[in-house]
Structure 1
């Protein structure tokens, strides 16, 4: 399997459509690594969850789901700022019907749907049969139980490193990966065979009782199947009722029903707007009764003002000239009396004439006086031109703008009312919505009642099976069942031996692989000579070159993590499954030397495709250059998180190689 592309659309912090090319390089040197950088809280965990969700849907073990129902988890996963659909697309290569094809898994939903829509394309062609049986197909290709051994994070490695015995989910995954569940399946089949033989050996009374219980069980099973089929039909009806209600609601809105329901409110609003507009017009009329109309003749008023000021200067000059002439005559007469020389008198007379010339110039205007204004009139004209008219014009513009806005709002409301459904149509639309709503509620109630009854039947069937098993055992114990018991015992013993040998063979191979991987990753190659794995609980034991055990607590935290990674690596190699590996926060608490070995030896060799999601402190500049020098990176991205909007977008280039 090779992952080709992941598309995130309005999923978690990823808003709009984000496309990530995951195809490993296939040039002269294999480039298996897709390096994705992101700070804590920037979307790395959501990226891993998207892969799990695409593969497994409702069964996906997403880290952010917790105890949420699938419907609540889907609603929570929708981007807060998006209004469209949420979509996850995962494309991968795999052999199908002896041909290499490209699968594209698409899961889409909207907030509040409570259910996602699955679509499977094979080489861009829809495959409905595969869509309907996808859970079974992916379980054969990448079983859910082993997925965490290929899609894991640093915290999982830390937890595995600190435990002496792997946790139950990991133990189950190991058994599935190594094919050890085969023996358990054979045991279950043997138990079925023994139960059949019990019936054959029972006496008539016992057989009759067994047949009665079995008939009861068959009746319950038949009824359960019938009720289950009815439950499926009711679920279909419920889905159709929900869809009908959605269509009726959309039709109610598109046909103007929503507007019609607010007709009275909108008509009242229009009435208020018209009253406000009329008040504004009254105010404009009042303004028109004042000085505002004078704005039409502003140039004339300016000219009148200038002419008036000129005429006032003229009148003032006339008065001043008469006064000065009398003063000049009196002054000259007085000078003659003082017996001043004629030359000096002529100079004084010339000076007075020069001073009077300025006044005489004002007495010869280009336009003769015709307004003859008073000073108060000029002052009033100045007040009107400089203050009252500008103020009135500003107020006029504001009121006109407000009237335009009111009129636009009235026109928009009129258009909305024009699009509203008529009372008759509105009544039909409303009745259709109410009918669809009632049908949905009725379908929901019928579905829930049938579901509860099916659960009760399932519990009864379980009780009857327990009764059948208990009575069968009691009845057979009364008979001489030595032959069946001995035969069953022999088979069980043989089966147990087979299981032990199979486990031993698989684990021996796994021990060799884990030892090789661990020694390869360690920078102290002489520390551990052999890794032993317990056949019952898969506990790892370490031995030095002298064959003496090495207590696990002697290992550093980093060495413990390398051991856990070697264990996962060995499992992948023993399974012979060609699957990609995705690792979130891969380096954890490793020191520089362990980091160096992991970056140099594990990441480029862990699989044909390795997706690393790291912060800038885990795979820093040194580790990044180390991977670059090995030509191991096929693609590199950075998850850029915007703290203000709470959104993440995918950008080409790692932290130290941004485009």
Structure 2
């Protein structure tokens, strides 16, 4: 329908004129076809007439026969002239044959029946199509304008995709490493819990050792400040006290104190045994010897309180320490557990014990 829009808009008179012209050219074509077909039979007709004249009697002369044939030819021609009514003189549309001419006439008649609403709708459709075409052309122009930027962005997008893939691989590796570390942390936490339990169990002994070290440091300070002129006497008294308590009598040959008041436990070869890792019991004996020496050389008596006196001592040292403590001239208070100063150890010092007290533990509420 859209391709016939020009014919639909040209108006009814023009379409009627075109149809009339095509009809007249159709008449011309049929007239020419009939005349051409008749001309092809004319000579045969004249030959038949001439043969018939030769049979006449009397016979016709040659001139008479020629005259008859010319008359017949003239009469034949008059059968086709004048041409029929409504016959075109020439062809204005020679490119159309009879069938095509008929189709054009039918189409023109259909357009004659086409109303104004249909034409308006057709025009609206054309306008919409033109608008859509314009939008497509604009889109093509914009696309062509941004094509270089699209290539750049495509390359950038490809690069970003590669980076993302690399980051994903790194994240995977980090997650695996994190899982391994979490497993190690779990094991470390287990070990820490175990060590914390062991530390809690060792806390009382550690506190006692810390107190002993603190006392030793305090005594060292007292020695350094109070009796710098009696260093040799203190060293000799420490040697005597230490040998009375230690069961390895030949291990420490003597105790020496230098001008800086540094105390040394020297063996027979002159090697300072304090440079080695002494046991808790050996440290206690050393501290006790120092306290006894200071007390003896100073000439001043003071009471001594010893908590768990045998807790860090082996069997060989226990009796030596107890006998040394009971030989002191001044009061000694021993805070013993039920596994220390009992049995043979208590019997060993019984003649020197003035009072004994038993402390009972009693829980009161949530305290104790």
TM-score tier (shorter):
0.3 to 0.5
* Higher Rg: 2
Using the size of structure 2 for normalisation, the TM-score is 0.39
Instruction: Indicate the structure whose relative CO is greater, using CA pairs within 8 Å and at least 6 residues apart.
Output: 1
Structure 1 or 2: more helix by fraction: 2
Using the size of structure 1 for normalisation, the TM-score is 0.23
